[in-house]
């Protein structure tokens, strides 16, 4: 699966990218801001998006809306990464159209499988 | 994952610096902005700490992020303490207190009064036991009863004062023996405080705290190297004697390592002494951080470091040092936009039965000499003879993630990897005409900042020693022209991004086999 990973934290970006590539065998593009994310999806449309809730230039749900308006991305599954994955937050994000929510900190070894489960991908490269 | 953890640990220093700067601003009243910075960094650490396997960071960062303003400073201090601990990979410095008293009741009461955060209380029942503790532990304060089963406490006090190592160690004398004679005699012998039993616990606690504080300050000053924060030569000397005594008694091996940064003079000459100092600080941090927790690294002087490996034979020590060497080689230094990397040479030797510090160091220094004279950037011990040469690959790639992936994979396969982020640093790594950088292969991204990959490729090919070194160019999809141009300029193979590291590795092996 071709994934777009969006997080402004370089440490999270590195570990998540390696986790998704090495353990999941996915192709991963990354972006560290909303602006970069829009640019990235215009360059290459992803099969799914993994998105940090708090970005310097946008809130996650707002960026989700903007991404969905891009051509071909109306139905792209989006998984949120968040430091506060309590029930209320999860419900809010899911009602905003998220396929699922993964809390930080996460287990790098299990990240790929978790993303695949949430977006309904059978897994494998 | 271990490699990632080490990488994360290294990233923590920047966070520590930023948090400390914000804490300083906070205490000077710069509330709003500093608070925002602190909460933002805490938020990020909260997410990343546990992800990298440091749940304590996540916990402490959550404490900071959620704390109300009045307790922010306190929570922040806790967090920074934990960050430092994780970054240094060590325990917090414990202050050792030695209680010498043969009465178990009194010893228990004293232990109770003395125990506290960052204090480790040892109890000795006799002068002989006390001597043992002093050899095996870092002691910052002694509480001494004058009545001991094997000798008069005053004799012990006198002996302590005669030895350089304990001459200035604070000693609080505690005794039931009344009379002004004993008191004045003890002060004359060098006691710092005198308490008669039964003593006032509050006054006693105050005296202990004051002495410990002074002792700690003195220790910091006289045993730490100011520039790197590592133990200095004197502290290494003491640590050596302690480790040696322990190894002898337990019959366990002890190894010693001697490290010298390669071409350090060039750093000073080319980039100035401030950069030289920065290199030494980073070297201390990286090497110290990549040795094992039980190992000790000290600064010997100049660009030389010395290390001790308790309960380790020289092969084990060589492996630990190889690991440090690899990490240091991957460390990137930058000044005015120029990025460069450095290496070190090291000798590792077993410490033998009747070795003095000087003899042990001289043995390690001999292997260091072999490492230097057979080409530098290697670790030599008697178990590696002759020094084996690892194939060295240079990666020119400005995308950190791609470079990390490639480096990770090649390192796993046993290659030495040099990474440069731009053309200038590649040329720097290759060196002047006439010198041999000892490269087996170059992986070159055609899209580099400033000097592009093609110009770099032609300049590489101009160097005689580089004329026949295989070069793989990395291009992006849909740029067949780039491939043709690269091959025309002398590239041996190409890989199109995005690629799998396995595919790249196969090309590397194929090209090296052809040589």
Q: What is residue B290's predicted lDDT score, i.e. its pLDDT?
A: 85
Contact criterion met (CB < 8 Å) for B49 and A105 = yes
The residue of chain B nearest to residue A102, with distances taken between CA atoms, is B47
pLDDT at B254: 93
**Does B44 reach chain A within 8 Å, measured CB to CB?**
yes
Report residue A17 as tokens.
Answer: 């990218």
Quick one: which of A48, A3, A4 has its CA closest to A25?
Answer: A3
Cβ atoms of B92 and B82 closer than 8 Å = no
How far apart, in whole angstroms, are the C-alpha atoms of residue B208 and residue B203?
9
Is some CB atom of chain A closer than 8 A to the CB atom of B401?
yes
Would you place residue B64 in the very low, low, confident or very high pLDDT band (cuts 50, 70, 90)?
A: very high
List the one residue out of A98, A110, A103, A99 whose CA is nearest residue A86: A103
pLDDT of residue A47: 94
The predicted pLDDT at position B387 comes to: 40
Q: Looking at residue B71, what is its pLDDT?
A: 87
Q: Is the pTM of this model over 0.90?
A: no
Which residue in B has a C-alpha nearest to residue A29's C-alpha? B498
**Mean pLDDT throughout B64-83?**
88
Q: Which residue from A minimizes the CA distance to B55?
A: A105
Strands of the sheet containing B416-420, edge to edge, are B416-420, B392-396, B441-445, B471-476, B493-497
Q: B300 in helix, strand or coil?
A: strand
Closest CA to B17 of B94, B90, B87, B72: B87
Q: Residue B93 — pLDDT band, cuts 50, 70, 90? A: low
* Sheet strand arrangement including B119-124: B119-124, B95-100, B141-145, B171-175, B193-196
* A114 confidence band (pLDDT: 50, 70, 90): very high
Judged by average pLDDT, the poorest of B181-185, B285-289, B333-337 is: B181-185
Query: Among positive and negative, which fits the CA dihedral B60, B62, B67, B69?
Result: positive
Chain B residues whose CB is inside 8 A of the A12 CB are 44, 47-48, 51
From the list B391, B364, B387, the residue with the least C-alpha distance to B376 is B387
What mean pLDDT comes out for the span B74-89? 83
For residue range B344-360, what is the model confidence (pLDDT) as tens digits? 999 999 998 888 888 89
H or E element, residue B370:
helix B357-373
Chain A residue numbers touching B405 (CB-CB < 8 A): 18, 21
Residue B279 has pLDDT above 90, yes or no: yes
Which chain A positions have a beta carbon within 8 Å of B47's beta carbon? 9, 12, 81, 83, 104-105
The pLDDT of residue B92: 39
Record: contact A105-B498, CB cut-off 8 A: no
Residue B193 and residue B163 in contact, taking contact as beta carbons nearer than 8 Å: no
Residue of B48, B55, B498 with shortest CB distance to A11: B48
B165 vs B16, which has greater pLDDT? B16
Report CB contact under 8 Å: A15, B404. no
Is the pLDDT score of B51 beyond 80?
A: yes
CA angle B179, B182, B184 (to 5 degrees): 105
Supply B65's token pair.
């992020």
In chain B, residues with a C-beta closer than 8 Å to the C-beta of A15 are 4, 8, 48, 51-52
- pLDDT (0 to 100) of residue B343: 95
Q: Give the residue-averaged pLDDT of B196-219.
A: 80
Rounded to an integer, the average pLDDT of A85-98 is: 84
DSSP state of B391: P
Indicate if the pLDDT at residue B181 is higher than 80: no
Chain B residue at shortest CA distance from A27: B498
**pLDDT reading at B325 higher than 90:** yes
Encoded tokens for B262: 């390669």
Highest-confidence range of B101-105, B317-321, B426-430, by mean pLDDT?
B317-321
* B124: pLDDT strictly greater than 60: yes
Q: Mean pLDDT across the stretch B402-431?
A: 84
Q: Going by DSSP bridges, is the β-strand pair B344-350/A27-31 parallel, antiparallel, or unpaired?
A: unpaired
Is residue B133 within 8 Å of B141, Cβ to Cβ? no
Residue A39 pLDDT > 90: yes
pLDDT higher than 80, residue B138: no
Taking contacts as CB-CB distances below 8 angstroms, the residues of chain B near A13 are 401
Chain B positions touching A83 (Cβ under 8 A) are 43, 46-47
* Alpha-carbon distances, residue B408 vs B3, B402, B475 (angstroms): 9, 10, 20
pLDDT in tens, B488-502: 888 999 888 878 777
Of A27, A30, A105, the CB nearest to B51: A105
Give the Cα separation of A50 and A78 in Å (integer): 6
Length of chain A: 125
| Distance in Å, alpha carbon of B41 to nearest chain A alpha carbon | 10
pLDDT over 70, % of chain B? 92
**What span, in angstroms and rounded, lies between the C-alpha atoms of B322 and B151?**
49
- How do beta strands B344-350 and B379-381 pair? parallel
Select from A12, A14, A22, A28 the residue whose CB has the most chain B CBs within 10 Å, as the one to mutate to test that interface.
A14
Q: Is B186 exposed, middle or buried (0-12, 13-18, 19+ CB in 10 A)?
A: buried
Angstrom distance (rounded) from CA B396 to CA B471: 11
Are B65 and B73 in contact, with CB atoms under 8 Å apart?
no
- Asked if B55 reaches chain A (Cβ–Cβ under 8 Å), the answer is yes
Is pLDDT at B32 greater than 60 in this prediction? yes
- pLDDT above 90 (res B21): no
If you average pLDDT over each of B21-30, B107-116, B325-334, B409-418, which comes out highest? B325-334
**Inter-chain residue contact B401 with A14, CB threshold 8 Å:** yes
To which H or E segment does residue B472 belong? Answer: strand B471-476
**ipTM of the complex in this document:** 0.77
pLDDT at A5: 95
pLDDT score of A57 more than 90 = no
DSSP 8-state code for residue A23: I
Residue B105, Ramachandran bin (φ over 0: left; ψ between -120 and 50: alpha; else beta): alpha
Check whether B76 has a pLDDT greater than 60: yes
- Once rounded to an integer, what is the mean pLDDT over residues A54-58? 82
Q: Which residues of B touch A105 (CB under 8 A)?
A: 46-52, 55, 58
> What counts of helices (H) and strands (E) characterise chain B?
19, 17
State residue B385's pLDDT score: 45
pLDDT tens figures, A60-75: 888 998 998 998 888 8
Q: Which residues pair with A2 in a beta bridge?
A: A27
**Shortest alpha-carbon distance between residue B356 and chain A (Å):** 45
Distance CA B128, CA B6 (A): 43
From A88-92, B119-123, B435-439, the region with the lowest mean pLDDT: B435-439
- Write down the residue that tokens 């930058």 correspond to: B334
A21 touches chain B (CB under 8 A): yes
Residue-wise pLDDT tens digits, B445-479 = 988 888 888 889 998 888 877 888 899 999 887 77
The three-state secondary structure class of B182 is helix
B267 exposure class (CB count in 10 Å sphere: 0-12, 13-18, 19+): buried
pLDDT (average), residues A33-37: 92
Indicate whether B23 pLDDT > 80: yes
Q: DSSP code of B309?
A: E
Q: Report how far residue B82's alpha carbon sits from residue B87's, in angstroms, rounded to the nearest whole number.
A: 8
> DSSP labels for B93-151?
PPEEEEEE-S-HHHHHHHHHHH--TTEEEEEESSHHHHHHHHHHS--SEEEEESB-SSS
Contact present, B231 and B239 (Cβ < 8 Å): yes
Task: Between B379 and B387, name the one with better pLDDT.
Answer: B379
């Amino acid at each position: 699966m071709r994934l777009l990973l969006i997080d402004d934290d370089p440490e999270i970006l590195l570990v998540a990218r390696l986790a998704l590539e090495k353990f999941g065998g996915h192709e991963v593009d990354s972006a560290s801001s909303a602006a970069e994310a829009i640019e990235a999806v215009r360059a290459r449309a992803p099969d799914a998006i993994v998105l940090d809730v708090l970005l310097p230039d946008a809130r996650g749900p707002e960026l989700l809306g903007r991404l969905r308006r891009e051509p071909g991305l109306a139905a792209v599954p989006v998984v949120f990464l968040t430091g506060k994955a309590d029930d209320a937050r999860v419900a809010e994000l899911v009602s905003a159209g998220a396929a699922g929510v993964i809390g930080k900190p996460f287990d790098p070894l299990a990240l790929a499988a978790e993303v695949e489960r949430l977006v309904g991908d059978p897994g494998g490269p | 994952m271990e490699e990632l953890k080490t990488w994360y640990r290294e990233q923590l220093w920047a966070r520590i610096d930023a948090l400390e700067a914000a804490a300083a601003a906070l205490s000077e009243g710069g509330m709003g902005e500093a608070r925002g910075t602190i909460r933002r960094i805490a938020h990020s650490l909260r997410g990343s700490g546990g992800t990298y396997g440091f749940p304590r960071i996540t916990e402490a960062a959550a404490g900071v992020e959620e704390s109300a303003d009045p307790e922010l400073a306190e929570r922040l201090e806790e967090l920074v303490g934990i960050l430092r601990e994780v970054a240094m990979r060590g325990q917090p410095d414990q202050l050792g207190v030695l209680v010498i008293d043969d009465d178990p009741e009194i010893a228990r009461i004293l232990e109770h009064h003395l125990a506290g955060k960052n204090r480790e209380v040892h109890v000795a029942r006799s002068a002989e036991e006390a001597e043992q503790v002093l050899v095996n532990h870092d002691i910052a304060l002694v509480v001494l009863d004058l009545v001991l089963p094997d000798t008069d406490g005053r004799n012990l006090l006198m002996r302590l004062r005669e030895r350089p190592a304990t001459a200035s160690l604070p000693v609080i004398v505690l005794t039931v023996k009344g009379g002004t004679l004993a008191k004045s005699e003890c002060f004359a012998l060098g006691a710092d405080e005198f308490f008669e039993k039964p003593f006032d616990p509050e006054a006693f606690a105050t005296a202990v705290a004051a002495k410990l504080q002074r002792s700690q300050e003195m220790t910091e000053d006289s045993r730490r190297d100011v520039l790197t924060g590592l133990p200095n030569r004197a502290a290494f000397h003491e640590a050596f004697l302690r480790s040696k005594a322990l190894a002898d008694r337990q019959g366990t091996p002890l190894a010693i390592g001697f490290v010298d940064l390669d071409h350090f003079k060039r750093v000073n000459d080319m980039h100035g002494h401030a950069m030289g100092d920065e290199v030494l600080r980073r070297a201390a941090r990286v090497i110290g951080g990549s040795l094992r927790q039980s190992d000790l690294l000290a600064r010997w002087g100049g660009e030389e470091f010395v290390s001790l490996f308790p309960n380790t034979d020289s092969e084990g020590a060589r492996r630990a040092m190889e690991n440090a060497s690899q990490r240091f080689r991957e460390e990137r230094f930058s000044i005015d936009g120029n990025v460069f990397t450095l290496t070190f040479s090291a000798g590792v030797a077993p410490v033998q039965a009747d070795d003095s510090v000087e003899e042990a160091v001289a043995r390690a220094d001999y292997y260091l000499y072999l490492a230097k004279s057979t080409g530098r950037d290697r670790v030599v011990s008697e178990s590696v003879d002759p020094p084996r040469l690892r194939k060295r690959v240079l990666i020119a790639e400005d995308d950190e993630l791609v470079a990390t992936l490639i480096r990770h994979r090649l390192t796993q396969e046993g290659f030495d990897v040099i990474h440069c982020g731009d053309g200038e640093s590649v040329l720097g790594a290759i060196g002047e005409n006439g010198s041999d950088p000892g490269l087996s292969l170059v992986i070159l991204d055609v899209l580099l900042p400033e000097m592009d990959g093609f110009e770099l490729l032609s300049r590489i090919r101009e160097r005689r020693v580089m004329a026949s070194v295989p070069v793989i160019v990395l291009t992006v999809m849909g740029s067949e022209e780039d491939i043709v141009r690269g091959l025309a300029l002398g590239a041996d193979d190409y890989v199109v991004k995005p690629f799998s590291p396995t595919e790249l590795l196969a090309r590397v092996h194929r090209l090296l086999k052809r040589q």
